[in-house]
Every structure is written in structure tokens, then in C-alpha cells.
Amino acid sequence: MASGLTRKPFWFLRHGETDWNARGLSQGNVDIPLNSVGIAQAARAAEALRGKEIITIVSSPLSRARDTAEAAGAVLGLPVQVHDALREVSFGAQEGQEMSGWFNDWVEGHMTPEGAESFAALRERTVGAVNFCLGQPGPVLIVAHGALWRAFRAEAGLPANVRTPNALPMWVTPPPPGEEAWQFEPLALG
């Protein structure tokens, strides 16, 4: 049960594509910039968010998320706040490596790469980060990362190891009374 999460609806947006995303490499805290596809994805997501009720934008400090958030901020006429706890997980020795073999075991809590943050620790940090964001004037747009979103999914009563597409805005709502799983509604992109 996701009792530790603040039960407020919000927007979530994973950053646009990077070269490492395209190659299936784990980025973690390596600050890989958006590639040309990612820049176009961020612009398209920003346009899709035009006219949506968003009061505050909070982003990870890593440039791939911050630049995606800035694209939305430019369209929405809003400044972007940076919250360090939204940064992507540290994958330690696996940063820059292919996300096969070890990744499922990490999400399931069977192993943590050398020098990395455990999935359990990421879940705890994610709850605090999302709750901080939801304490800002809302509705809030949170711009962050894939592994962090997997941790949110785990806390939100959903299967954790599901890939979130790059730059697809999602309206996230808490579960109705008597239910445990949060709902995600992807926004149609034009």
C-alpha cells in the first residue's frame, strides 16, 4: 500500500531521449544531454501540456530532465524549480553499461551494483522527493527519470519494472477509496 505518498494528482514527465537511451545504456548520475530526438520529444511534450492546469514545475538537476522541464516551462510561461532528490539513481559500477542481466535483479532487490543506490533506498528517496514536489502549489509537473519512476510505481501499488517512454506526459491520480493502485493517464501527443 502506498500510504507514504501524498495523495494528490500531478503530472509526470520523463526526460526526452539521450544517446545512451537510444543505445540501451544505464545513465544513472552521468549527465548525458538530450540528443536531437530528445529535444524534439521535449518540445512535443511541452506543446501537449499547453493549456493544462499546471502551477509549478519541479525537475531533477540532471540536464536531460532540466532541459525537458525548461521546454515545458517556456510553453507554459512557468519557471522551473530544481529539486536534487529527483535526480536519477546512481547505478555505480553499472553506469554506462547495458541494462540487461543485472537490471531486473536490482529492481527486485536481489543485488545492488558496486557503489550504487539500492532499489529500496531509491524507493524511500522517491517518496520524499515526490511528496516535496506535491507540497508546492499545484497541480505540479514533475520532470525526472525512468528508474525513479519505477520506484514510484512500486510505491504506488503497481508493477515496478515497466519502462516509461521518453517525454510522454502522464496525469497521475491517487487511488480511489478502497483501492491501492494509482492511475496513470498518458497524454495524447500531436
Active centre residues (catalytic): 15, 88
- Cα radius of gyration (the chain): 16
Distances from the Cα of 35 to the Cα of 52, 63, 100, 166, angstroms: 26, 11, 22, 12
Q: How far apart are CA 23 and CA 20, in angstroms?
A: 5
Q: Taking a C-beta distance cutoff of 8 angstroms, is the pair 67, 151 a contact?
A: no
Q: How far apart are CA 176 and CA 141, in angstroms?
A: 21
